[in-house]
Chain A
Amino acid sequence: MKVKLSRIFMYIFLSVAAFLSLFPLYWTAVSATNTTPDILAASMTPGSQLIANFTRLLELSSLGRAFWNSARNAVLLTALSVSICSLAGYAFEVYHSKAKDRLMSVLLLSMMIPFAAIMIPLFRLMANMGLVNTTLGFMLPTISTAFLIMLFRQSTRSFPREMIEAARIDGLNEMFIFIRIYIPTMKSTYAAATTITFMAAWNVFLWPRIIMMSPDSVTMPMLISNLMAGYVTEFGVVMLAVLIATLPTILLFLFLQRYFAEGIMGTVK
């Protein structure tokens, strides 16, 4: 009897947690299709205002521009970041030496540096290099992260060394081995790294808020933040913008949940 009760309690607890987790997302989606009065009346059902809200959103903001900026920035940053960090993580493990291990532990310390502590000098550095409002300026600070290097270093431990030895005997050069043998074998690590890097790059707010100063270089998180701060009173329009900013990462999450989970836990192995 006692066992039964605790099971019921467990289902109730999990259901409440799941409901609370999903509700704000459901409400966002529903509100994107409603008028302001409907939203204020706590309407919980989809309305018919989706097209009207969308038209209004296009009038109020440069949605297309911001979406393109976000997509371009996030895709480029992810591609560069995963390439450079995977090569480094591979090197730290495959060619490892005492000096390289020591360097890795120094690099890991960078994970403890709060972004607030470096954002001002970083901004000045970028300004001196003429990189304000550029994708390169947006990307540079986070192209290489100790976290991603570590993720690849740890996963490389499970990469069969015999494959490298065999390729060397066949006379293949080291870069060729990395590109043609390592990368195809480590697909799931690449998927994990790509998922978490893309999500972080799509959602990042503080750095673009500093470095992307012209209206032309606004990203999606900045666009929705500006909409709200501009006291747009059409809530349905704001919620539609929030929904559009969120959908890409939600879809990515739903399709690649396993890789996302592997990615965030990459260094715990």
Chain B
Amino acid sequence: MKNSAEPSGSTLIKKSGLSLSQKQGLTGWAFLFLAAGLIVLMNFYPMVRGFMMSLQTGVGANMQFSGFVNYTRLFEDPRFRQTLINTFIYLLVQVPIMLILGLILATMLNSRNLKAKGFFRTAIFLPCAVGLVAYSLVFRQMFAFDGLVNTVLVNIGILETGHNWLGTPWSARLVIILGLLWRWTGFNMIFYLAGIQNVDTSIYEAARIDGANVFHQFWKITIPLLRPIILLTAIMSTNGTLQLFDESFNLTQGGPGVSSMTMSHYIFDTAFAGNPMLGYASAMSFAILLMVALLAFLQLKVGDRR
């Protein structure tokens, strides 16, 4: 049974000319065969198929090879350009704010004799338990024209009349950014908190005796020591932001027009709504893949520099 998943192994074992360590090696391959096979079949194989599809044009089963036409089309598509710009706005505005906020919160939660530590930690971490669609809909409701935010802002006199948050390009993007901050800041904070707790407290002790204030400690000790974790969270957030879909689809529905739509949302629309253009959608998908790889590479380069 244990070797049945490894075709070449099962025949070899029967001859029993194998050493114990060779047998165990084969058992190992048998144990990981299914998991590894599924990743190849469900990730790498579709990736190759997707690339082949991106070189084809046509509708449905009538696809023919057409070289890089789909890729040159990317440069002339104003909707693609807009979704690309939107995604990078989310990336460049939201990710740095979130990571810095997460760092500050983690530092505060790590301070000695802070009361109600557990409560603060759980409260700030809790949004991570909320599904992306669920929180998108809550934010959509809060920022609706007749929604809570407008009602409160008008009642306390900050706004004279309600602002059409989701109907104006910049505020629609802002609402998505606020939503992302709400959902993911605690997630990153937990990483930093774990990292800070591993730092020897005597380092801070020594710095305090040398007269370093809180900001110095944060800047000169916390940040450098957490560098690998900051790098990791930066890569994860970049990867996640380039793939944003649920928020764009549910919170703003990409609108107004396509002014808050993300790339994944546009790919989804191109591939599955109305008149499906699978070749073109695949080309866009590959553009995302390239960007994710390139940005991760850049971040590793910058992050590893001493």
Chain A interface (Cβ < 8 Å from any Cβ of B): 6, 10, 13-14, 17-18, 20-22, 24-25, 27-28, 31, 39-42, 84-85, 87-88, 90-92, 94-97, 100, 103, 107, 110, 112-122, 124-125, 140-146, 149, 173-175, 178, 199, 202-203, 205-206, 209-210, 220-222, 224-225, 228-229, 235, 238-239, 242, 245-246, 249-250, 252-254, 257, 260-261, 264-265, 268
Contact = CB atoms under 8 A, between A and B. Distances in A.
10 residue pairs, one from A and one from B, having the closest CB atoms: A95-B28, A88-B35, A253-B129, A203-B131, A91-B31, A144-B38, A121-B46, A18-B123, A121-B49, A118-B46
Interface of B: 1-2, 24-25, 27-32, 34-39, 42-47, 49-50, 53, 104-105, 108-109, 111, 114, 119-120, 122-135, 137-142, 146-148, 151-152, 155, 182, 185-187, 190-191, 194, 214, 229, 232, 239, 242-243, 245-246, 249-250, 253, 263-264, 267-268, 271-272, 278, 281-282, 284-286, 288-289, 292-293, 296
Contacts of A178: 31
B143 to A, nearest CB: 11
A14 B31 contact: no
Contacts of A246: 129-131, 134
B191 A141 contact: no
- Mostly, the B contact residues are helix
B138 A28 contact: yes
Contacts of A18: 119-120, 123-124
A228 B2 CA distance: 50
A131 to B, nearest CB: 12
A117 B288 contact: yes
A117 B286 contact: yes
Contacts of A143: 38, 42
B285 A249 contact: no
A100 B36 CA distance: 10
A88 B31 contact: yes
Most buried by B among A31, A205, A260: A205
A14 B105 contact: yes
B47 to A, nearest CB: 6
Contacts, number: 268
A97 B28 contact: yes
A110 to B, nearest CB: 4
A177 B264 CA distance: 44
A144 B148 CA distance: 42
A42 B43 contact: no
